[in-house]
Structure 1
Amino acid sequence: MPIPTRISSSWRQLARRLAGGALLVVATASAGATGFQPVESIRAAALSVADTGEEADASLDPALRMPRCAQPLQARRSGAATVEVACPDGWRLFVPVRMRRHQTVLVLARSVAAGEPITADSFMTQQRDAARIAGAAIADPADAIGRSARRTLVAGSVLTAGDLVAPRLVRRGDTIALISGQDGIEVRMAGRALADAGARERISVENLSSRRVVQGTVDDAGNVRVGR
């Protein structure tokens, strides 16, 4: 059956306008006398797929003309930045949607010099776009307070694990207790640290009895614990 001239003209106009917005994939329903689908309802459907913690934005041409849908619109993600909005009666649109996921991070309230310890007044908690954060951002103040800046850090920057080092409990050349434990039994030996390290960091240690070099983890007391 030939498509009425009025409808055909509407679709030609739609095709021209879609170049700057959503991509029309299938359109089998006629607009007829029912009018057109409100553009805001299409936008709302596209944004409805955002997860908790995500902020979404979709741009659609206000002059977009899609046949009014007699059923609720359906939406699903079809790509990292695209949402498919469909009318069960027959048409589908791929709508460009910008998704931003925010996460809680620590942001420096002031500049911190290299080697300076991080204190509670050094930072503040903020929500930032996860896509714009480089490195493993720190969210828990307990993971920052007491550690020192690896290099000079400027105010406004997001604190990451790579920015900080634990206080040096062990220095290269120190004689330390080398502890090996299993089934509740501990064996202590004298060792010599081959590098500087802080609590919960890995370090190489020379066993002064056997002259073997082993790897261990520095505990809060400055001892080095190794597994058997």
Structure 2
Amino acid sequence: MSIVENQRHRRIFAAIFLALATLPCSPAVQASGWQEEVGQQLVSRWQEISGHSAEASVSFPGLPADYQLPDCQGGFGLALVKPLQAGRNGLELSCNAPYWKQHLAIQLHTYKTVAVLRKPVSAGQPLTTDDISMVRHDTGELTKGYYPRAEDVQEQISRRSLRAGTVLSPDMLDPPLIINRGERVKIRVNRPGIRIEMNGTALENGRQDERIRVRNEQSQKIIFGRVTGRGLVQVE
């Protein structure tokens, strides 16, 4: 082969190589759409867990919106560090061709209507329907819990002063008193084969299912019983 032919072959090979190198890659999952892909997979998993009508979305806290994964020819794998839950989750993305792994944090936003204060309340104030609005909220941020129905908080007592717009959680409220100290009550003894009721006096305030001291008016004996209703204490 002459020097001229050799140089011509080299030029042809270089042109072919350059053309191949500049072709767009076509992996199963393009890097530019990976966040949408991950979000769809996780939302689908969440809906399988909590119901197909569950409203949810995914974000990537601390990650730039234009962040790109390395290319992956066969499509990346997705694995959760722990079972999926509302709020913060750990995620591992991996690829076999070429091999790589990425560990990321994701936030699963789950939306429900929850009980929110419409206006301020004072410590010790019982709540009414006028105090409550039902507002759509990301429950993944409500780490102390929430109330999904307005009736769940009716007549509950605020433990402290709360501002309007506060999302109510169980640590903020106490159940209402249904027995007051000094009140006449029925004491019910309920044991296998025995059911007796007698008059008594409550020696302390009581809420549903609380144990309080009561005095048997007939024997004057002081006993403990569980509050099972208004004016009713059960001894077991």
1:185-204 equivalent positions in 2, closer than 5 A: 186-198=195-207, 200-204=208-212
Instruction: Tell me: CA distance 1:205–1:137, structure 2 relative to 1, closer, same or farther (3 Å).
Output: same
Instruction: Choose from 80, 99, 102 the match for 1:77.
Output: 80
Give the alignment's TM-score, normalised by structure 2: 0.66
Instruction: Choose from 15, 39, 46 the match for 2:31.
Output: 39
Deviation at 1:77, TM superposition (A): 1.6
Look up the SS of the partner of 1:180 in the other structure: strand
- Answer whether contact 2:116 2:133 (CA < 8 A) is retained: yes
- Answer whether contact 1:114 1:150 (CA < 8 A) is retained: yes
Further displaced range: 181-190 or 153-162: 181-190
Instruction: Tell me: CA distance 1:181–1:101, structure 2 relative to 1, closer, same or farther (3 Å).
Output: farther
Aligned length: 194
Deviation at 1:110, TM superposition (A): 0.8
Distance, in Å, in 2 between the alignment partners of 1:100 and 1:181 is 48
Distance, in Å, in 2 between the alignment partners of 1:56 and 1:138 is 23
1:1-228 equivalent positions in 2, closer than 5 A: 35=25, 38-47=30-39, 48-50=41-43, 51-52=46-47, 53-58=55-60, 59=63, 62=66, 64=68, 66-69=70-73, 71-78=74-81, 81-102=89-110, 103-182=112-191, 186-198=195-207, 200-208=208-216, 209=219, 211-219=221-229, 221-227=230-236
Amino acid at match of 2:94: A
Give the alignment's TM-score, normalised by structure 1: 0.68
Regions of 4+ moved over 6 Å: none
Tell me which structure has the larger Cα radius of gyration: 2
Look up the SS of the partner of 1:139 in the other structure: coil
Q: What CA RMSD, in Å, does the superposition of the two structures yield over aligned residues? A: 3.1
Unaligned runs of 5+ in 1: 1-30
Deviation at 1:223, TM superposition (A): 1.2
Deviation at 1:161, TM superposition (A): 2.5
Deviation at 1:45, TM superposition (A): 3.5
Look up the SS of the partner of 2:114 in the other structure: strand
Look up the SS of the partner of 1:49 in the other structure: helix
Instruction: Give 1:20's aligned residue.
Output: none
Distance, in Å, in 2 between the alignment partners of 1:101 and 1:82 is 14
Instruction: Tell me: CA distance 1:118–1:205, structure 2 relative to 1, closer, same or farther (3 Å).
Output: same
Distance, in Å, in 1 between the alignment partners of 2:148 and 2:118 is 15
- Answer whether contact 1:203 1:216 (CA < 8 A) is retained: yes
Unaligned runs of 5+ in 2: 1-20, 48-54, 83-87
Distance, in Å, in 2 between the alignment partners of 1:163 and 1:42 is 41
Distance, in Å, in 2 between the alignment partners of 1:203 and 1:93 is 56
After superposition, what is the alpha-carbon deviation per residue over 1:132-153, rounded to whole angstroms, capped at 9, x for unaligned?
A: 3353422222221133323322
Distance, in Å, in 1 between the alignment partners of 2:199 and 2:129 is 37
Amino acid at match of 2:38: A
Deviation at 1:65, TM superposition (A): 6.5
Distance, in Å, in 2 between the alignment partners of 1:63 and 1:36 is 19
Amino acid at match of 1:67: D
Percentage of matched positions with identical amino acids: 19
